[in-house]
Amino acid sequence: MAEQTDAMSVLVTGGDSSAGLAAVRALQAKGCRTTATACDAAGALAIRQLGALPVFPDLQRASEIGGILRMSGADAILHTTPQAILGVPQADVNYADAGARIFAQTQAVARAAEQQGVKQLIALSAGQPGEHLQAAESVLRASGLRGFILRAGYVYGGNSCATTALADMIKRSATPPSGEKPASWIHEDDLAAAMLELLTSEMPSDGMTIVTAASDSACTPDDFAIALAQSLGLGAPRFARPGIFSMLRQPTARERLLAKENLLDSRRLRELTGWMPRHATIESGLEATTLTWRLNDATRSADYYEIYADEAGEAIAKRESGLGLPEPVAEVLEPVEEPVAAAQPEPVKAAAPPPPSDGPTPWNEDEAKREERRRKALERRAKRAAKRAGG
Task: Please answer whether residues 154 and 124 qualify as being in contact, where contact means their C-beta atoms are separated by less than 8 angstroms.
Answer: no
- Cα separation, 71 vs 230, in Å, equals 47
Distances (CA, A) of 234 to 222, 224, 226: 15, 13, 9
- Model confidence pTM above 0.85: no
Domain locations in the chain?
A: 7-307
pLDDT digit string, tens, across residues 206-254: 899 999 999 999 999 999 999 999 999 999 999 998 777 777 788 889 9
- Cα separation, 141 vs 204, in Å, equals 12
Which residues, including other chains, have CB under 8 Å from residue 63's CB and lie 6 or more apart? Answer: 112
Residue 54 three-state SS: strand
pLDDT beyond 60 at 42: yes
Q: CA torsion angle for 204, 205, 210, 216 (degrees, to 10)?
A: -20
CATH fold of 7-307 reads: Rossmann fold (3.40.50)
Residue 354, φ and ψ in degrees, nearest 5: -65, 150
Residue 64, φ and ψ in degrees, nearest 5: -70, -40
Q: Sort strands 218-219 and 9-13 into parallel, antiparallel or unpaired.
A: unpaired
Q: Please calculate the CA angle 72-76-82 and round it to the nearest 5 degrees.
A: 105
Residues counted in the chain: 391
Q: Which of 9, 99, 100 is nearest to 53 (CA)?
A: 9
Task: Please answer whether residues 25 and 47 qualify as being in contact, where contact means their C-beta atoms are separated by less than 8 angstroms.
Answer: no
Using 50, 70 and 90 to split pLDDT, how confident is the model at 3?
very low
- Cα separation, 255 vs 177, in Å, equals 8
pLDDT digit string, tens, across residues 17-40: 899 999 999 999 999 999 999 999
- Average pLDDT taken over every residue of the chain: 87
